[in-house]
């Protein structure tokens, strides 16, 4: 019974903030969320985030602010990234600009006192898998410290998007930090394993999200792992030769994309 009461309490605080949007209601929502998050696990918080998402969709973006506490104070990077992704597509753009929501989310990474949280926020944008966001993501990435970049590169979703993989390779080719390069290479290997099961999607997100009608993205093309690998293996092979720091990780990623490392 206490869990249900706590859930009701946090929902009421989030809804009030989304309706009133003033400092007292924001502070109250943050305080209640922090206390509630200590009593439930990450999966329950993801479920509430999804429920909030569905309610906001039904109101065509009105009340998207209810997702902000998930981004700003949740202790789990995956919850943060998930809420950031949802906010990016539910932000009610004033000028029918599909990138207004992603730009709003990107601005939330400017709070440098929590570098891993900033990385999780950027990771949510990366998981949208939409090439329209690539310049925004790259500009935001360049402004973040290595700890943020590692967190961003480590976020994964059930899908493997062509723009996401290409973005990671772009970032790896330019990244100066050894630890970040290793994190990117590790994620590329994991995406290769996932692609063997689900393939690789070239898609565009439906923004705003309430126009999706159950399909959050429009699939332009679906590749098997082998079909898509032909687009990237030359770049991966070159990285294997030139990246001494990722010598233990990058060759495995190359082999996995070629279907040889499993």
Our count of domains for the chain comes to: 2
Nearest to 92 by CA among 68, 64, 116: 64
Q: Tell me: pLDDT of 203 over 80.
A: yes
Q: What CA–CA distances, in Å, run from 70 to 27, 104, 140?
A: 13, 15, 20
The answer to whether residues 9 and 96 belong to one domain is: no
Residues 6+ apart with CB under 8 A from 4: none
pLDDT band at 142 (very low <50, low <70, confident <90, very high): very high
The answer to whether residues 61 and 89 belong to one domain is: no
End of a domain among 43, 75, 107? 75
pLDDT band at 245 (very low <50, low <70, confident <90, very high): low
- DSSP tag of 248: T
pLDDT band at 243 (very low <50, low <70, confident <90, very high): low
Give me the pLDDT at residue 244, please: 59
The answer to whether residues 92 and 221 belong to one domain is: yes
pLDDT band at 236 (very low <50, low <70, confident <90, very high): very high
* Tokens 């772009």 -> residue: 170
Hey, which residues does 202 pair with through a beta bridge?
Answer: 221
Give me the pLDDT at residue 2, please: 44
The answer to whether residues 213 and 121 belong to one domain is: yes
| Residue 250 belongs to domain spanning | 79-262
The answer to whether residues 4 and 103 belong to one domain is: no
The answer to whether residues 47 and 140 belong to one domain is: no
d(CA 55, CA 10): 15
Give me the pLDDT at residue 98, please: 86
CB 163 within 8 A of CB 202: yes
Q: Tell me: pLDDT of 246 over 80.
A: no
How many CA atoms are closer than 13 Å to the CA of 239, on its beta-carbon side? 28
The answer to whether residues 15 and 85 belong to one domain is: no
How many CA atoms are closer than 13 Å to the CA of 90, on its beta-carbon side? 25
Secondary structure of residue 7 in the 3-state scheme: helix
Nearest to 91 by CA among 205, 214, 209: 209
Give me the pLDDT at residue 262, please: 60
As a whole number, the mean pLDDT across the chain is 92
The answer to whether residues 71 and 165 belong to one domain is: no
The answer to whether residues 63 and 94 belong to one domain is: no
């Amino acid at each position: 019974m206490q869990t249900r009461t706590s859930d009701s309490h946090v929902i009421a605080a989030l809804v009030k903030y989304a309706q009133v949007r003033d400092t007292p209601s924001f502070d109250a929502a943050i305080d209640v969320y922090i206390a509630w998050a200590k009593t439930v696990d990450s999966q329950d918080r993801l479920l509430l985030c999804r429920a909030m998402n569905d309610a906001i969709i039904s109101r065509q973006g009105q009340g998207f602010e209810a997702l902000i506490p998930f981004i700003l104070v949740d202790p789990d990077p995956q919850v943060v990234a998930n809420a950031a992704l949802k906010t990016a597509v539910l932000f009610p753009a004033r000028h029918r600009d599909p990138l207004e929501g992603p730009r709003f989310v990107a601005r939330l990474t400017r709070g440098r006192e929590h570098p891993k949280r900033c990385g999780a926020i950027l990771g949510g944008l990366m998981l949208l898998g939409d090439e329209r966001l690539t310049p925004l993501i790259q500009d935001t990435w360049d402004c973040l410290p290595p700890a943020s970049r590692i967190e961003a590169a480590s976020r994964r979703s059930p899908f493997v998007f062509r723009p996401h993989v290409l973005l990671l390779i772009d970032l790896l080719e330019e990244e100066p930090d050894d630890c970040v390069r290793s994190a990117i290479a590790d994620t590329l290997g994991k995406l290769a394993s996932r692609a063997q099961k689900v393939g690789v999607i070239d898609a565009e997100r439906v923004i705003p999200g309430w126009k999706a009608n159950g399909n959050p993205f429009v699939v332009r093309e679906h590749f098997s792992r082998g079909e898509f690998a032909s687009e990237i293996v030359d770049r991966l092979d070159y990285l294997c030769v030139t990246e001494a720091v990722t010598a233990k990780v990058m060759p495995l990623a190359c082999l996995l994309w070629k279907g040889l490392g499993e």
